[in-house]
Homo-oligomer: A and B are copies of this chain.
């Protein structure tokens, strides 16, 4: 049974969090803006009863929703408007569609984080003709005010911050099980919604136009279904689209690491010694930003290819134990577990800041810090001083959870790229003529990746050059794209050796 299998598998994507309640943690989108700016409004006034127990009705008389507090709608609307400024591609999509409604008749059921940025996506789908029912993919990440604004605008949202696991599944079920409304297409982030329908409403599932999935986890689950011959509808893998791979993690982290550290610690970056564990996309983003502000950055790596890149980009690649005593900040970006252990923490100098930009909560050894010999002092939201018996203090951020979970804002623009890709995938699947897509998992056509990219260019006042007929012919491509050959990509698949085989072999020859 597929859920069982998943428990044992680990993924290497560094930003995407597990989406399994109740343990799941999140990249919280603009969580942080909520924290810093809206907490007074939203949190203090909230009662403790579950929204599920209340009878709710919107001003328009709509009642198929369940959220925390409809009165926060105005504040949520402002947040959405802020996000719209930075998400030009979706706004362009609305504009370019003009009167046309490419999603007319589409009944989209969605399960994502519910934030200002996803609200822009959802309202774009609506503007293109879709009806939308929406649940949260994470029990903690819903911005209640945004949910309220969506409901006020006519979207059926079932989500609030701090759902129990029971409530999580109840919300998902409410989105699907309306008597008078049946979804015909899925937009999922993590696969929970997809598998809920697949398992509980198999007939409904078979009639779907398709599934659009963004996360590593969800995509993996779809490939498993497909391999097992049980995927009965086409699915779009948005996670591996070029736009997501080339832009998301790198720029997301580059843009948020500085603010995350500043806000919590007032640190000056110039000349400070920072250790970044891992030089994948997350590590590359963090290193680039920190170096740019004058920090002296060290890198640990296990993969020699990434290590060589770090070297040539100007970073010292070093073992953690060789540098720990002199660094001012340690940032984990590995996607692995047990990266910073108690023995490492014991060696750090007093005042060292420790935080996590990687995947899971297990990169830093929290258990090792919660021992009776250490004293914790909570000095600011998301900031604890952990004090050793000799007075040494480690500055721990966000209790080892993702730093940009709650300590920084989110660049809406970066999220815009993925959101626009999701919208395109939905349009493509919904409008594809019979037979174009089989019961399989597809990547978004390269052409559409390019289209998504082009939607973002006006924000930068960027102007593309057009190939002449002659030049296009010379390159062997169409004037209108795609602009890279297929064989470029495909040539990477001739690999037919298993690693183990090769490994042994090299060892013999070269010691």
Partner-contacting stretch, out of A119-127, A154-162, A444-452: A444-452
A466 within 8 Å of B by Cβ?
A: yes
A501 and chain B: residue at smallest CB distance? B436
A460 and chain B: residue at smallest CB distance? B311
Q: Are B431 and A505 in contact (CB under 8 A)?
A: yes
Which residues of the other chain, B, contact A272 by a CB distance below 8 angstroms?
460
Cα separation A222 to B301 with both chains bound (whole Å): 36
Partner-contacting stretch, out of A56-64, A166-174, A189-197, A261-269: A261-269
Q: Are B480 and A503 in contact (CB under 8 A)?
A: yes
Cα separation A309 to B460 with both chains bound (whole Å): 11
Partner-contacting stretch, out of A17-25, A177-185, A203-211, A405-413: A405-413
Which residues of the other chain, B, contact A501 by a CB distance below 8 angstroms?
436
Q: Are A98 and B511 in contact (CB under 8 A)?
A: yes
A441 within 8 Å of B by Cβ?
A: yes
Q: Are B317 and A463 in contact (CB under 8 A)?
A: yes
Which residues of the other chain, B, contact A37 by a CB distance below 8 angstroms?
380-381
Cβ-defined partner of A431 (8 Å) among B44, B449, B453, B509: B509
Partner-contacting stretch, out of A46-54, A130-138, A251-259: A251-259
Q: Which residues of chain A from 458 to 511 have a CB within 8 Å of any chain B CB?
A: 459-468, 470-471, 474-476, 478, 480-497, 499-503, 505-506, 509-511
Would you give the shortest CB distance from A322 to chain B, in whole angstroms? 7
Cβ-defined partner of A312 (8 Å) among B9, B40, B294: B294
A337 within 8 Å of B by Cβ?
A: yes
A165 within 8 Å of B by Cβ?
A: no
Q: Are B81 and A379 in contact (CB under 8 A)?
A: yes
Which residues of the other chain, B, contact A496 by a CB distance below 8 angstroms?
440, 442
Q: Are A493 and B489 in contact (CB under 8 A)?
A: yes
Partner-contacting stretch, out of A65-73, A105-113, A285-293, A368-376: A285-293
Q: Are B266 and A511 in contact (CB under 8 A)?
A: no
A361 within 8 Å of B by Cβ?
A: no
Which residues of the other chain, B, contact A305 by a CB distance below 8 angstroms?
242-243, 246, 449-450, 453, 483
A153 within 8 Å of B by Cβ?
A: no
Q: Are B36 and A36 in contact (CB under 8 A)?
A: yes
Which residues of the other chain, B, contact A470 by a CB distance below 8 angstroms?
337-338
CB pairs A–B below 8 angstroms (13 shown): A12-B485, A78-B380, A102-B509, A240-B492, A258-B258, A259-B263, A308-B457, A311-B456, A317-B457, A318-B463, A320-B465, A443-B491, A445-B502
Q: Which residues of chain A from 66 to 90 have a CB within 8 Å of any chain B CB?
A: 78-79, 81-83, 85-86
A75 and chain B: residue at smallest CB distance? B379
Q: Are A317 and B502 in contact (CB under 8 A)?
A: no
A496 and chain B: residue at smallest CB distance? B442
A302-B483, A304-B450, A304-B464 known; A314 and B270 CB under 8 Å? yes
A366 within 8 Å of B by Cβ?
A: no
Would you give the shortest CB distance from A257 to chain B, in whole angstroms? 11
A237 within 8 Å of B by Cβ?
A: yes
Q: Are B268 and A413 in contact (CB under 8 A)?
A: yes
Cα separation A497 to B490 with both chains bound (whole Å): 13
Q: Are A411 and B379 in contact (CB under 8 A)?
A: no
Binary contact track A272-302/B, C-beta < 8 Å → 1, others 0: 1100000000000000010111111000111
Residue of A81, A445, A480, A485 with most chain B CB atoms under a 10 A cut-off: A445
A313 within 8 Å of B by Cβ?
A: yes
Cβ-defined partner of A442 (8 Å) among B303, B310, B447, B494: B494
Q: Are A457 and B311 in contact (CB under 8 A)?
A: yes
Cα separation A486 to B442 with both chains bound (whole Å): 18
Cβ-defined partner of A262 (8 Å) among B269, B304, B338, B408: B408
Binary contact track A325-355/B, C-beta < 8 Å → 1, others 0: 0100000000111100000000000010000
Which residues of the other chain, B, contact A265 by a CB distance below 8 angstroms?
82
Q: Are B10 and A475 in contact (CB under 8 A)?
A: yes
Which residues of the other chain, B, contact A268 by a CB distance below 8 angstroms?
86, 251, 255, 312, 411-414
Would you give the shortest CB distance from A453 to chain B, in whole angstroms? 4
Q: Are A409 and B262 in contact (CB under 8 A)?
A: yes
Cα separation A268 to B440 with both chains bound (whole Å): 36
Which residues of the other chain, B, contact A40 by a CB distance below 8 angstroms?
39-40, 44
Cβ-defined partner of A411 (8 Å) among B266, B351, B380, B427: B266
A30 within 8 Å of B by Cβ?
A: yes
